[in-house]
Structure 1
Amino acid sequence: MTLSNKNISIRLAHRDDLEALVHLFAEDEFNQSDRWTEESAPAYYAAFEKVQVSENSNLYSVLIDGEIVGTFTLVFIPVIFGGGAHRVVLEGVHVSQHHRSAGIGRIILEFTEKHAKEQGAKSVALTSKKVRIRAHGFYEKNGYLKSHEGFRKQL
């Protein structure tokens, strides 16, 4: 699939996008927890409301001809080190399996970098599960360096 004749847009996610976004998460072969059901919907709506009121976090929808085909979150973190520069964390990047390898990931990175610079950020950080070898190659090809070792503790 190519993007040459497609109308691609990125916008802040709407509440009505949630079901489609959760379906994108669920399509991910490494995600075993996200599923949109009548029982899970209230938790996703509550999480969306928290993101909406956050000054530092934005959830985006990526659309082709009006259809949601991707999503990501940008988190702006003000820090003291580095002369007080902002840092941007790119989180939760998901592209529909039917639209992968078509350039959408690159569009997300370009949008992120442009928006981060406009907000005065000096860097963009992201994490990717160790098993996502293909994604790691994509990020490296686009100038992202493996610079840190990450740690996580489930609470």
Structure 2
Amino acid sequence: MAPHTLVIVADHAGENWPDRARTATLTLTAEADDNDQASARVRLLTNCRTAFGPETALPTAVLLERLKSDPESGWGECGPAGLTAMKLGTMLREYDIRSGNIRFPNGQQAKGYQRADFADAWARYCPSLGPVPDADVVPIERDNRPSRPSLVTAGQSGTAPIAGTA
């Protein structure tokens, strides 16, 4: 079970479990840092925070390009073509971070990631980077339009009348 899952369970358990789980997670993270063996997922979170810079959202392609452009990160050598969108999504999904359709200020719509979705994971697993400033976590509206037309046909309201009102 991933450490963040244990913290979530501890939050639900209440009493002193949330503090104990966070202390354990920080201790394990510090030990990994001391051994210079930070997990790939924690390294990815750290590298994503750097890649985002001041941006509130990034298309997946841009995030991957920025991650792979740092030769010291190793993401360019992660597989034959480097880190892929699918592998990135799989690694981030463990932190409940998912890509979505985003309409960017320039009018472009693309699959991408929002900085706000990373805030909790950065605070929990990358505390050495400092707090995530609230001003930097302004979500961009995701495109929520359905991909298929509604099943309601012309002349139907889509709701049944309430008994006694028809």
Do the two structures share a fold, i.e. TM-score over 0.5?
no
Query: TM-score when scaled to structure 2?
Result: 0.22
Query: TM-score when scaled to structure 1?
Result: 0.23
Bigger strand share: 1
Bigger helix share: 2
